[in-house]
Every structure is written in C-alpha cells, then in structure tokens.
Homo-oligomer: A and B are copies of this chain.
Amino acid sequence: MPDASKMTSSEHQHEKNFMSIHKYDLIVLGSGPAGERGAAQAAYFGKKVAIVERDYYLGGAAASDTIPSKTLRETALALSGIRSRRLYGVDLSLRRQATVRDFLHHEEVMKDIERRRVAENMLRHNVDVFRGIGSFKDQHTVKVTSRGKKPEFLEGNIILIATGSSPYWPDNYPRDRHIYDSDTILLMKYLPENMIIIGGGVVGCEYSCTFAELGIEVFLLHSRDMLLPFVDRDISLALENSMSKMGINLKMPVTVKQCIAGVKGVAIELDSGEVIKSDAVMLAIGRTSNTKELNLETAGITLGKHGFLVVDDNYQVVHHETHEPVPGIYAAGDVIGPPALASTSMEQARFAVIKAFNLEPYKGHVAPILPYGVYTIPECSGAGKTEEQCVSEGINYVVGKANYNQNARGMITGDHDGFLKLLFEINDDPGSPMKLLGVHVIGENATELIHTGLAALMMSASHDLFINTCFNYPTLSELYKYATYDAMGRRAKRLNSAKPVPNN
C-alpha cells in the first residue's frame, strides 16, 4: 500500500495540519453505480470510506437517467397496452387521455426513490458523504469545494475515480431549446408530435422505442449500417425489423451535414441532401468522461483516447502512454469508457476495491463475462460470443434457436417475434458435449432471461445442462431446452451431410 507521507512536501504537510484534514482508507469521487458499489464494498470490509458527490442528490446517472428512462419505458408500455393489445379482448389504450404529467409523474417518483436508496445505503455502511466538487490537491488528497462553504480536505490511502460521463454534443448542433441530450430529454415539458433521434446505439435505440410507443413519430438517424453494432447480428436485424414494424423511420447509414434550429423546430440536412424537419432532436452519439474539474495533472494522471481515463486489469489508473500505474488511484465506470453500462461499472468498482485493499480471497477476478441488456421494445440481451466472433475466431460452432411464438408462455404474453439464440462449439463426434459459447435473446423479459445462460457460461456448461434441466411450465425459460434441441438437430444434419454415418 502506498505511503502518503512520502509524497507530500513539508510545506504541504503544514497546510494540511492547519486545515483539519479528514483521513480515510478510501475516497470515492462520484456516487453513481460505480461509486456507490465501490464505497459499499470497501465499507463492508471495515474500511473507512468517504464519497464525494457534486450533485445535490446521490445516485449519478443511474438515478437521473438509467432508472427514469426504464420507468418511462414501462409507463409507455402500460399506457399503449402493447402487452395486451391483440390479447385480452379489451382495449387498454388510454394514450389520448394521458397528459405529459402522467407520463413523467412515476419517473419523478422513481428518481426520488433511487436517490434515497443510495443515500440509505451509504448511511447503513457508515460512508461519509461530502457534497461538492472534488479535485486532486495531490496524489492522496482531495479538495471538496461547494459554493458558499469553506473547502474541505480529505486524505485517502486509495482514491477511486467514478465521476461518470456526460453526453457528447458535437459542434455542428446548436444549443437550442428544441435540441436535447440524454441528460435533458426527461426535463422536456411537452411531448412533441415528431422527433429526430441521432445515434443508433443503446441510448438512441431505447429512446426511439419508448417515444414511438408513446405515439410520437420518430426518425432515427444512424451513421453505421447496423443498430447496436456490438450485438449479435441476428439480434440487431430483428430489432431493426421490430422498430420498423412499430413505425420508427430508420435512416442508416447516413451522415448529418448540418442542423438548423428554427422558432418552431429543427431541420436536419443529410449528406445526401435530404432534409428532415421535426419538433425536437435528441442527440445520442456517445458520452465524454467527466474529468475537467478533477485537476488530474496534480495527481500525475494523463488521459487516453477520447479523453477516457486509462486503467490496467486491476482498474488502477495508468499513464496513457507508459502504462506506469499511478499509486493508490483507481477508476471505474463511464469515466474509463465503453461499455459504460451500470452493470459493468458496478462490477469494475467492486473489483478495483478488492484489488486496492488486497481482498482477493473474497473475489479473485473480475466477472469474466459481461452481459449487456438493452431496454428497447422488445428488450435485447446477450452474453458470451456473438456468431460474428465465432466466425472471425475460426471456431467450429452450431446455432440453436427457439422462438417465443412456439412457446406457451410466449403465446400467453403475446410476443410473436422474440427468440433465443444459443451458440455451441462442436467437433466431429456427434455424441460429444457441445460447449456453450454465447447466449442472445430478443423479446419480452430478455434482460432477465439471459441470466440462466450467463450462469451456464460462467460454469463452462455444455448443452447437456439444458437437456437435463426440468424447466417450469409455462415459462419463457423453456426456450433454453428447445434451442438446445434445435442445435442438436443442426449438428446431426451437418455431420450427416459432411460424411454419412450409418445407423445414426
């Protein structure tokens, strides 16, 4: 563990003594998913922890963005009655009677609940909360400044940077009241009749679906030829299909030439010359690290590509070129760049704390498989290898698919398009176990369903697991068994056609 006293000058020491410094085992900068979990983890193991949050509320992006956007999605689904539309013989759609306040009411409630939950979690773990802007005074001292208050100084053996990110706003988009990003979109006072969303990543796709479900005409402009470029292509194509079906105008690949804000709305001109006009625009083209106010140079920290902090396998901050670790300083979450999901951010922060304090017996490694969950309509989720990865890595694999519309639970919930796709490694022996490589789901409940496959991947399971497991009936989880049957059938066909096996 680094020795802080060696790193401060005597003058510095003097100033500190004068200022009554608070001493901690761990100082966490930021109280989003990464910060909260990192702080709680260390406190759980008896460390003295401080957390610094510049916002009035705790919770960061998860409370102000992730949770509310998921809540708005649930509201949209309930109001439009998608789960019951063709289903119950009763029309549940109340959309026309609903007001903007109705849509956003529950979202406000949820935001408050999540913020309170984080505050209570910090209290329960005896984590000291400092409100204000945290910046490095030296490699082990953080200065917390808050308007109208004297600055406070915290000294920590370990400092975890979890200050998150902010939406990226390119120069060719004017700051205008009709143009929103993911931080401001939920502050929108009215629901526009139509809307242009820029960017076909997670945020752009999620909001496109929610707003389309609320009855808004949505144009989604994407610079690449595939939505959610990191997911299995079958899932991406199925999502594209579903989004088109629900009326979203997908334009991809396109490049935006300019964006002109007028009194009544916005006009976007594409490179092709096409002009699209709409009441509002939402930017969803990436995020940049929140590092400006950290005074990183003082701590000897440099930034890497796209302004992200660079870390090693232990999430310790390193010099962006020499990869020399910065003593005692770790970083996790959005501030270190992709995948920038709440789930992975928490995992990174927990692991950083374990490494920083030598808690390895408790958890020897970071989760080797990071799933993704996208709250589009329908949901998408995946874990392990995509089919494209199998191809590019030259793996001998077979696909197994099962559709929601052939499953009793899928039929009850009325999801006709969803499917589960499994990828197994095969060899020439038709009777050998096939190792599970990847799990991909699109459809209702996909973000939950994935975890059965994820647990199987974590345990290096083979196809036998799903064959030998008895699944509840009627459940969507049964799809695991049927997708496995499908894979077995495809393997048998493949091996038979390659070299005929007698009496197989």
Contacts and interface: CB of A to CB of B under 8 A. Distances in A.
Interface stretch (A74-82, A165-173, A189-197): A74-82
A89 B78 CA distance: 11
Interface in A310-330: none
Q: Report how many copies the assembly holds.
A: 2
A474 interface: yes
Nearest to A91: B94
A472 B451 contact: yes
Interface in A292-321: none
Interface string A329-347: 0000000000001111011
A344 B458 CA distance: 26
Contact of A94 (B66, B90, B369): B90
A184 interface: no
A270 B289 CA distance: 70
Given A343-B470, A473-B342, A92 B114 contact: no
B117 A105 contact: no
B473 A373 contact: yes
A100 B402 CA distance: 35
**Which of A347, A361, A472 has the most chain B CB atoms closer than 10 A to its own CB?**
A472
A218 to B, nearest CB: 21
Nearest to A379: B472
Contact of A472 (B114, B117, B371, B468): B371
Interface in A482-504: 485, 489
Contacts of A448: 445, 448-449, 472, 475-477
Given A455-B456, A472-B343, A101 B74 contact: no
A80 B158 CA distance: 52
A8 interface: no
A369 B346 CA distance: 33
A497 to B, nearest CB: 17
**Which of A454, A456, A458 has the most chain B CB atoms closer than 10 A to its own CB?**
A458
Interface of A: 33, 44, 62, 66-67, 70-71, 74-75, 78-79, 81, 83-84, 87-90, 92, 94, 98, 101-102, 105-106, 110, 113-114, 117, 341-344, 346-347, 361-363, 365, 367-373, 381, 406, 408-409, 411-413, 431, 445, 447-452, 454-456, 458-459, 461, 464-465, 467-477, 480, 485, 489
